[in-house]
């Protein structure tokens, strides 16, 4: 059993570690292994204590287009996205990129021909960002 507070010489707890694990997992490049890891989290009982983490996991597993506005994912519940965490700005930008990438995968399942303009509209981001 993992203790509730771990002593790594800095202030952290199991909930923060779990939140960061989920956050870094969704930042990982998409692969079958990553997808399976995310699916396995759905059976983890700790997820019940993290509604924002459940929302993020559910979004990434969805077969529908998801919101690309990172603010809709309650990032304050994930330490790696909070100010003061090293590279938090890069993590936020990478999260947005992964949200758009998820949507492009979903769009490619339903469209055989689609313009960059339409992709940017569906993702609610600039055309330049979609490229």
**What pTM, to 2 d.p., does this model score?**
0.82
Query: Would you state the pLDDT for residue 65?
Result: 92
Task: Indicate the burial class of 12 (C-beta count within 10 angstroms; 0-12, 13-18, 19 or more).
Answer: middle
Query: Would you state the pLDDT for residue 6?
Result: 53
Q: Is the pLDDT of residue 98 over 90?
A: yes
The closest alpha carbon to 104, from 125, 81, 73, belongs to 125
Q: Is the pLDDT of residue 81 over 60?
A: yes
- Residues in contact with 46: Cβ distance below 8 Å, sequence separation at least 6, in sequence order: 14, 15, 18
Dihedral sign for Cα 40, 2, 4, 91, please. negative
Q: Is the pLDDT of residue 44 over 80?
A: yes
How confident is residue 103, by pLDDT bands cut at 50, 70 and 90?
very high
- The crossing angle, in degrees rounded to 10, of helices 51-61 and 88-110 is 40
Query: Would you state the pLDDT for residue 48?
Result: 86
């Amino acid at each position: 059993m993992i203790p509730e507070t771990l002593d790594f010489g800095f202030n952290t707890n199991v909930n923060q570690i779990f939140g960061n694990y989920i956050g870094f997992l969704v930042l990982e490049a998409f692969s079958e292994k990553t997808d399976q890891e995310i699916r396995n989290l759905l059976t983890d009982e700790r997820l019940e204590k993290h509604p924002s983490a459940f929302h993020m996991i559910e979004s990434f597993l969805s077969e529908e287009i998801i919101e690309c506005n990172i603010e809709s994912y309650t990032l304050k519940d994930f330490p790696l996205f909070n100010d003061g965490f090293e590279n938090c700005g890069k993590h936020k930008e990478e999260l947005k990129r992964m949200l758009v990438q998820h949507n492009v995968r979903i769009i490619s399942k339903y469209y055989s021909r689609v313009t960059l303009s339409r992709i940017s509209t569906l993702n609610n981001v600039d055309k330049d960002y979609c490229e």
